[in-house]
Amino acid sequence: MLKYTPDHEWLALTGDVATVGITQHAVEQLGDLVFVQLPDVGAKVAKGDGAAVVESVKAASDVYAPLDGEIVEVNQAIVDDPSLVNSDPAGKGWFFKLKLADVGAMSALLDEAGYKALIGADHA
Amino acid sequence: MMSADATTHELPLSEPNLKRTPLHALHLTLGARMVPFAGYDMPVQYTAGVLKEHLAVRAGAGLFDVSHMGQIALRAKSGDLADAALALERLVPVDVLGIGVGRQRYGLFTNDAGGILDDLMIANRGDHLLLVVNAACKAADEAHLREHLSQTCEIGVLERALLALQGPGAEVALTRLAPECAGMRFMDVREISILGAPCIASRSGYTGEDGFEISVPSAKAAKIAGALLAEGDVLPIGLGARDSLRLEAGMCLYGSDVDATTTPVEASLSWAIQGVRRTGGARAGRFPGAAIILEQLCTGPQRLRVGLKPQGRAPVRGGSVLYSQAEDGPQIGTVTSGGFGPSADAPVAMGYVPAAFAKPGMRVFAEVRGKRLPVDVATLPFITPRYKRA
């Protein structure tokens, strides 16, 4: 199941663990990334907490925890090479894996059509 | 995530008060992302993006629209340029009289506290001085000139476009249209003809690379820019890369690294104050803030602008507080500009530290997201400039 947040994160659920990344739209807005800071494995986060930081040449942005849970894995590859996020935000550019406190909370997030409508509205 | 770019101001879609340069339509055609800057609608990047645009300038050539900057002509009412030079010397701590015909110098308007009102280029055009000033200050600079120089000088704002062509490939690109520019060396200024239009070119820039800054008639600006971009070896470059290029080159951004509270000496710009204007020189002092500035030249300032090299991968931005210790202890300074240097492939920054810390290799700490990150004082620039001096 692939879901999205209004803050331009995507979540791909396997069991009760969601892989989280940022969307192509977010990457286009940010420009070339030069730095990524990921949360610690084992960190417990609440929905809306700052979980990661990305920096482009010009500015920093926060990536938020999309749902309550525990960080069980982080993607060191994007720390070593932030450009992976730009080149493959939906694949190799994933940020962290979040063991969800409540899998059911996924249903309240946006589906692909809902997210597309959201960003489409931005461009109107 | 938050709406991303901190330099993109949230605005309603139509911003009727933003001014446009003569190249505005061209920017849109080229796919520029536009942002407000100094009251103008300006390109922050084109489709290549800031990183690629920055690298393209150092590897080849890039074209910048800097038409938002001010161009002001100063003529002596007496008809003798020396009188205009001497008049301007009352406002800048620079040897203006000594600028030869066809040459230019970097200058600073100072205030009575010894602070900097603006930084500018001053060119000797034979029968007038041509001043190029920052966009955000141009109205105040014009008023400043009128207030102090109207008795002796005619002051005229030039409504012309300004292009910057920068990079090791700049000469090849410009000589295609104006062969006479090949003989110019760094800080020369001359009239050149491009596509039949009378232009004024200086061999100078804001990137640390060889290049030209070209004043062109507004009506011809789009055509000339198009001709420079046509061969494909010149990329359009936005303000985003302009900032990362000048930061790596150790150059000040007015309003960030220098302002009304920083003296030229504190700002490590003493080199711009020639000996003739210093204590003991033939035309010492007699500019605003002279007492403080000349005193600092003799005894040294309390603080100095230095390069800063963060030791990790995290950029350290302007506004970050500097400490001497990893924990506790008071603030000792501030970062005034910082970001990622694509050519340095590392974060780079500059800021002010107490004079005792202003030695390359000194370790200080910058607060970023609540943590103190180690930063080393570093010499500027972060790259090797490639000006065509000889």
- The domain boundary residue, chosen from B300, B332, B356: B300
B81 and B198 in a single domain? The answer is yes
Instruction: Name the residue range of residue B318's domain.
Output: 302-383
CA distance B379 to B4: 32
CA atoms within 13 A of residue B321's CA, in its CB half-sphere = 14
B228 and B369 in a single domain? The answer is no
* pLDDT given at position B15: 61
Percent of chain A with pLDDT over 90: 93
CB contact under 8 A, A59 and B1: no
- Do B335 and B319 touch, CB atoms closer than 8 A? yes
For residue B137, give the amino acid letter: C
Residues whose CB falls within 8 Å of the CB of residue B11, separated by 6 or more in sequence, listed in order: B36
Angle at B327 between CA B326 and CA B330, to 5 degrees: 100
Residues of B in contact with A58 (CB under 8 A): 5-7, 44, 50, 240, 243-244, 339
Average pLDDT, chain A: 94
> Considering the domain boundaries, does residue B32 fall inside one?
no
* pLDDT given at position A57: 86
Res A79 pLDDT > 60: yes
CA distance A78 to chain B (A): 12
Q: Which of A22, A32, A34 sits opposite B1 (nearest CB)?
A: A22
* pLDDT given at position B8: 40
Domain A2-102 has CATH 3.40.50.1580: no
Three-class secondary structure of residue A21 per DSSP: strand
> Considering the domain boundaries, does residue B21 fall inside one?
no
Mutating which of A7, A34, A86 best tests the B interface, going by the most B Cβ atoms within 10 A? A34
B294 and B307 in a single domain? The answer is no
CA distance B250 to B17: 33
> Considering the domain boundaries, does residue B328 fall inside one?
yes
> Considering the domain boundaries, does residue B20 fall inside one?
no
Q: Which of B268, B301, B273, B263 is nearest to B378 (CA)?
A: B268
B115 and B222 in a single domain? The answer is yes
* pLDDT given at position A103: 95
CB contact under 8 A, A62 and B1: yes
Q: How many CB atoms lie within 10 A of CB B300?
A: 12
B142 and B233 in a single domain? The answer is yes
CA distance B191 to B181: 9
**B193-219 confidence digits (pLDDT tens):** 999 999 999 999 999 999 999 999 999
Residues of A in contact with B244 (CB under 8 A): 57-58
CB contact under 8 A, B4 and A34: no
CA atoms within 13 A of residue B5's CA, in its CB half-sphere = 23
* pLDDT given at position A124: 45
B4 at interface of A, judged by CB pairs closer than 8 A: yes
- The domain boundary residue, chosen from B241, B276, B300: B300
CA distance A116 to chain B (A): 16
- B21: phi then psi, degrees, rounded to nearest 5: -85, 170
Q: Would you tell me which residues 79-98 of chain A have a C-beta closer than 8 angstroms to some C-beta of chain B?
A: 79
CB contact under 8 A, B5 and A58: yes
**B3-50 confidence digits (pLDDT tens):** 444 444 444 445 668 999 999 999 999 999 999 999 999 999 999 999
CA distance A82 to chain B (A): 11
The arithmetic mean of pLDDT across residues A55-62, rounded, is 90
Q: Which of B72, B81, B157, B75 is nearest to B109 (CA)?
A: B72
- Predicted confidence pLDDT, tens digits, chain B (390 residues): 654 444 444 444 456 689 999 999 999 999 999 999 999 999 999 999 999 999 999 999 999 999 999 999 999 999 999 999 999 999 999 999 999 999 999 999 999 999 999 999 999 999 999 999 999 999 999 999 999 999 999 999 999 999 999 999 999 999 999 999 999 999 999 999 999 999 999 999 999 999 999 999 999 999 999 999 998 899 999 999 999 999 999 999 999 999 999 999 999 999 999 999 999 999 999 999 999 999 999 999 999 999 999 999 999 999 999 999 999 999 999 999 999 999 999 999 999 999 999 999 999 999 999 999 999 999 999 999 989 987
For residue B192, the domain's CATH number is 3.30.1360.120
Q: Which of B310, B326, B380 is nearest to A35 (CA)?
A: B310
CB contact under 8 A, A35 and B240: no
B230 and B332 in a single domain? The answer is no
For residue B310, the domain's CATH number is 2.40.30.110
- List beta partners, residue B211: B166
**B362-390 confidence digits (pLDDT tens):** 999 999 999 999 999 999 999 999 899 87
B134 and B212 in a single domain? The answer is yes
> Considering the domain boundaries, does residue B27 fall inside one?
no
Helices B221-230 and B170-177 meet at what angle, rounded to 10? 120
B190 and B330 in a single domain? The answer is no
Angle at A114 between CA A109 and CA A118, to 5 degrees: 105
* pLDDT given at position B11: 47
* pLDDT given at position A71: 98
Look up residue A115 and give its DSSP letter. Answer: H
- The domain boundary residue, chosen from B285, B300, B315: B300
Q: Which of B56, B388, B43, B99 is nearest to B240 (CA)?
A: B43
Q: Which of B124, B94, B95, B122 is nearest to B110 (CA)?
A: B94
Chain centroid, CA B295 distance in Å: 26
Res A58 pLDDT > 90: no
DSSP string, B277-301: GSTTSTT---STTHHHHHHHHHH--
B339 at interface of A, judged by CB pairs closer than 8 A: yes
CA distance B162 to B69: 8
CA distance B156 to B169: 34
Q: Which residue has the tokens 């409504």?
A: B159
- Do B222 and B205 touch, CB atoms closer than 8 A? no
- List beta partners, residue B376: B309, B363
Four-CA torsion B93, B96, B102, B104, nearest 10 degrees? 0
Four-CA torsion A123, A124, B6, B7, nearest 10 degrees? 100
Largest CA distance in chain B: 65
CB contact under 8 A, B51 and A62: no
Look up residue B116 and give its DSSP letter. Answer: E
Q: ipTM, 2 decimals?
A: 0.88
Number of structural domains found in chain B: 2
B91 and B223 in a single domain? The answer is yes
**A89-113 confidence digits (pLDDT tens):** 999 999 999 999 999 999 999 999 9
- List beta partners, residue A44: A70
Residue A122 — very low, low, confident or very high, per pLDDT cuts 50/70/90? Answer: low
B158 and B141 in a single domain? The answer is yes
B206 and B281 in a single domain? The answer is yes
Helices B138-149 and B81-88 meet at what angle, rounded to 10? 110
* pLDDT given at position B10: 44
* pLDDT given at position B1: 61
Q: Which of B367, B247, B374, B377 is nearest to B319 (CA)?
A: B367
